[in-house]
Structure 1
Amino acid sequence: MATKLKFINTSQSAFFATVRGRVDAYFAQRAISPHANRAMWAKAVFFLGGYALFYGLIFSNHFGPWVMLGLAIGLGVFAACIGFNVSHDALHGAFSARPWVNKLLGGSFYLLGANPYVWKITHNVVHHTYTNIPGHDEDIEVAPGLIRLDPLEKLQPWHRYQQWYTFPLYALASLSWVLRKDYVKFFKSRIGHHDTANHPSREYIKLFVSKGLYYVFFLVLPSMVLSVAWWQVLIGFIVMHLAEGLVLGLVFQLAHVVEGTTFPLPDETGNVQDAWAIHQLQTTANFAPQSMLAAFFCGGLNRQIEHHLFPKICHIHYPAITAIVKRTAHEFGLPYLENCSFGSALYSHFRLLRALGRPV
């Protein structure tokens, strides 16, 4: 049985109490909700509408194979952006104060071919609690054996080259999600230390029905309706998911697997020597915090520090609370990791992959 972890350093609790009080005061003083505002709803409409537009253009049958291939790439990118900008907030309960709205918008995750129920376990519960802890946070177990993100994992000869072959493997993430990952996670008895042996009966139905419908809408119907061969439909499906997977993989990895982030180990009794909030600061990094494009397309995931500390606040407010979190971290002498641009974060990730692929 996996050891249940505990964050035991209660003497560090003053930081989170202070930063939470200041963030709460920010919203109270301005009499604004920490949930979605008009700008956030506009983003949701933009990405959901763009996704529908790409899908509709493909099914219009007015374009040749090469143009439809480009549309498939656009559809994959917009699917990833829906995940970042709509599904993610909704599944955290951050989009709206009304649970039914979050549940409805959380269903947009099905548009990625992914299962919201499984995601809430692996991401909301496990990853957000045990970030970067080997053996518990399965988000750092990307292609185990091929990619070494855990410093304790056995070093293999091919890891020496992982900084080169890892990025193409990220592109396979979405295909794995659609065809394999959700099923594997759903039927595991434990994810990290979290018991997942008993699921509600309705979730079995949702898993298989939603997957079946996804295959129908993205493989069966195109083969029946479009004036292209079945193998061209298959190529389009694969290319769409390669685009989606690359975008998803890069954005998620640049938040936790860059230079400066740590991979802390609990002791033999399962105790982690830091408070939970301090642990989040040590294992998480922001990137491109001043970029309006990153903020718009990444759904606030370029400000992962704020997201991990306040996952129930809608990401549209992260730019405003970033200064509060950063100032408070510095006041307490705590790390606040950030890369100034997407490119610098990408290069930092590359260097860390290279370092993890060689003996210490």
Structure 2
Amino acid sequence: MVIGCHAAIGVSNFKRIIMRKIKFSKDEGSEFYKELNEQIRNYFDSNQMDKTGNKKMIFKIVLYFTLVFLFYFLMLTSSNLGAFFVFYIGLGISVLLNAFNVSHDAAHGVAVKSKFWNKLLFQLSFNLQGNNAYVWGKNHNESHHLYTNIEGSDIDVLNNPLVRMTPNQDLQWYHRFQYLYVPFLYLFYSLNWFLFREFLMIFNRSSRTIKIMIPAWEVIKLIFFKIAYITYMIIIPSIILPFEWEYVLIAFLLNHFLVSLIFTGVLGVSHLSDYVAHPQPDSKGKLTMSWPKLQMCTSVDYNVTSTFLNWTLGGFNAHALHHLLPNICHIHYIKLLPIFRAVAKKYGVTYMEMSYTQALRSHFRFLKKMGTQVEFKPATYEI
């Protein structure tokens, strides 16, 4: 059976994504998900709250957009090279925090109540990074969220010859060293995204395991915003500031290196862990588990009760909760965690949560195991 309307709606929207569609089975995860939704609905009803962002979220939106414009102004008015580098890096981090806290929830339509403002916030905050909102929105909502960690269905599962991510990918001799060289590759994550990832998708040359057909209008927007990004991040500072253009380029690269490390450090540990599964459907496209159970066995959460991380990472550290409840703003996650844990325990569904240090260690164990083991079996998570 196809589990629930969440999956069914997503499949019906796959008009421009060429991928393998999956059918899910019914198991304890199905009842878990049903009761979870009931209890979450009761929580919001009894507290007379909306699932979307509240006044605190509005403050965060204003705060992170203000930081972006403030650091850009300070960068363009820098009087010395040291201050320029500090403000440039501050701008990059502010843009990333904006993406974590605003873009992501807006993409799911839950940053604010208004559909119009959610769409505008998502488009504005994403396109101004030099990346295409349409492409990422399709990838994230209609592929990654539905078919997490399933090769050929989840677009975030790469078939990169340098990094072995799933047991189905060929094991090469150099993969035994991938846990050592992958951190260096992570430095180039955002630059690769900006310079190559979306362009390669246009020509179907991407290492992604599924293909996306990008509409002509979105290709035009993609090129326009990349040119705009280069203009205000490199060309304008080079013209206005009394520094050699080489320093602007160095700041640009350092900014992307740092942003890439933070981004991969935040997200990589959630789905690339030696605790998570990479399930594969049978020849008929059927998976031997429900959609909710898939989300629970492919996501690792860390420091989920941390107010600081909820404010800075926009709930990305509570990935399993987000995947099951994408229609809820991250501002509510900490309050919902007791319900989430209790219902999971009631139905015997494993919820993998740990400290960030443990999650990071698990991530590197995963890279090492995938580089040496032909057959990979996830480690048993113990509460």
In 1, Cα distance between equivalents of 2:220 and 2:31 = 45
Write out aligned runs for 1:141-290 (5 A): 141=158, 144-188=160-204, 196-197=212-213, 199=215, 201-290=216-305
AA at the equivalent of 1:154: D
Q: 1:21 aligns with which of 31, 38, 59?
A: 38
Task: Report the TM-score when normalising by structure 1.
Answer: 0.93
Moved more, 295-304 or 174-183: 174-183
Per the TM alignment, residue 193 of structure 1 is displaced from its structure 2 partner at its CA by 5.6
Q: CA offset at residue 308 of structure 1?
A: 0.1
The equivalent position to 2:84 in structure 1, one of 54, 68, 91, is 68
- Cα distance per residue 1:148-176 (max 9 Å; x no partner): 22122111222112112212211211111
CA contact (8 A) 1:79 1:244 kept: no
- RMSD of Structure 2 on Structure 1 (CA): 2.0
Residues 1:294 and 2:306 aligned together? no
Return the letter of the residue paired with 2:223.
Answer: F
Question: Match of 2:225, SS?
Answer: helix
Q: Secondary structure at the match of 2:301?
A: strand
Could you tell me which runs of 5 or more consecutive residues in structure 1 were left unpaired when the two chains were aligned: none
Q: Which of 129, 133, 136 does residue 112 from structure 1 map onto?
A: 129
For the residues of structure 2 that align with 1:189 and 1:112, how far apart are their CA atoms? 23
Distance 2:90 2:96 in 1: 10
Which structure 2 segments of 5+ residues have no match?
A: 1-17, 375-383
1:80 to 75, 96, 100: 96
AA aligned to 1:161 is F
Match of 2:326 in 1: 311
Of 341, 345, 349, the residue aligned with 1:326 is 341
- Deviation of 1:186 after TM superposition, in Å, equals 4.3
Q: What is the Cα deviation at residue 11 of structure 1? A: 7.0
> Aligned partners of 1:225 and 1:123: how far apart in 2?
38
Q: Could you report, residue by residue, the CA deviation over 1:320-356 in whole angstroms, capped at 9, with x for unpaired residues?
A: 11111111111111110111x2222111111111111
Amino acid in the other structure paired with 1:252? L
Q: Which whole-Å CA distance do the structure 2 matches of 1:313 and 1:275 have between them?
A: 21
Larger mean Cα displacement after TM superposition, 27-36 or 153-162: 153-162
State the identity as a percent. 34
- Quick one: distance in 2 between partners of 1:193 and 1:139? 9
Matched residues in 2 for 1:119 and 1:285: separation?
A: 22
Q: Distance in 2 between matches of 1:240 and 1:304?
A: 26
Which letter does structure 2 place at the counterpart of 1:3? Answer: R
Distance in 2 between residues matched to 1:159 and 1:204, nearest whole Å: 35
Check the 8 A contact 2:178/2:371 in 1, yes or no: yes
Tell me the equivalent position of 2:51.
34
Aligned partner of 1:102 in structure 2 is 118
Aligned residue identity for 2:171: L
d(CA) in 2 for partners of 1:284, 1:138: 16
- 2:28–2:348 CA contact under 8 A, matched in 1: no
Distance 1:162 1:89 in 2: 33
Over residues 293-340 of structure 1, what are the superposed CA-to-partner deviations in whole Å (9 max), with x where a residue is unaligned? Answer: 21111100000011000112100011111111111111111110111x
Task: Tell me if 1:131 matches 2:148.
Answer: yes
How far apart are the structure 1 equivalents of 2:222 and 2:210? Answer: 23
Q: Could you list the runs of 4 or more consecutive aligned residues of structure 1 that deviate by over 6 angstroms after TM superposition? A: none
1:238-291 CA-partner distances (Å, limit 9, x unpaired): 111111111111111111112311110111111111111111011011111122
TM-score (norm 2): 0.88
More helix per residue: 1 or 2?
A: 1
| Distance in 2, Cα, partners of 1:198 & 1:104 | 20
Structure 1 residues 229 and 184: alpha-carbon distance in aligned structure 2, compared to 1, 3 A threshold:
same
What are the residue-to-residue correspondences of 1:50-69 with 2, within 5 Å? Answer: 50-64=67-81, 66-69=82-85
Q: Which residue of 1 aligns with 2:379?
A: none
Shift of 1:110: 2.1
